């Protein structure tokens, strides 16, 4: 339930900050991309991480190098499936902590890029 709730909260947050949501939960043979959005002229691959507490660290800390490499491969796959577009691309992490009356939301724009792997 935490993941779905976080994705809903995250999508609303991004929309309120000027993001246009293009696709949700994009599945490929390599895994899943939480959100693909457009922000200004940039195509943004968004990883949403949600936690109820910090027992296992902050949500964004779970996007380690292995996860980043997987997201880069997923984005490359997606871009190959949509060859007509040659967009400027970035990866954002949306970290959401639930538990309080209002969620604590941190948006990390341009957290890494296609060459980080």
- pTM of the complete model: 0.92
Yes or no: domain 2-112 corresponds to CATH 3.40.50.300: no
Which of 3-17, 56-70, 73-87, 92-106 is predicted with the least confidence, judged by mean pLDDT? Answer: 73-87
Q: Which residue has the tokens 């922000």?
A: 39
* Phi/psi of residue 83, nearest 5 degrees: -70, -15
pLDDT in tens, 101-116: 889 999 999 999 888 7
Structural domain spans, the chain: 2-112
Q: Cα 9 from chain centroid?
A: 13
Q: CA-CA distance, 21 to 67, in Å (whole number)?
A: 22
- Tell me the pLDDT tens digit for each residue of 68-90: 999 999 999 999 998 876 679 99
Residues 5-32, mean pLDDT to the nearest whole number = 95
């Amino acid at each position: 339930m935490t993941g779905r709730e976080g994705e809903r909260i995250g999508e609303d947050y991004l929309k309120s900050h000027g993001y246009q949501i293009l696709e949700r939960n994009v599945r490929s043979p390599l895994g899943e991309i939480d959100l693909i959005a457009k922000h200004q002229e940039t195509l943004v691959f968004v990883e949403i991480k949600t936690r109820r507490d910090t027992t296992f660290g902050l949500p964004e800390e779970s996007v380690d190098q292995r996860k980043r490499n997987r997201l880069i491969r997923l984005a490359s796959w997606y871009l190959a499936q949509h060859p007509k577009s040659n967009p400027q691309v970035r990866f954002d992490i949306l970290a959401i902590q639930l538990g309080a009356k209002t969620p604590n939301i941190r948006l990390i724009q341009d957290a890494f890029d296609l060459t980080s792997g």
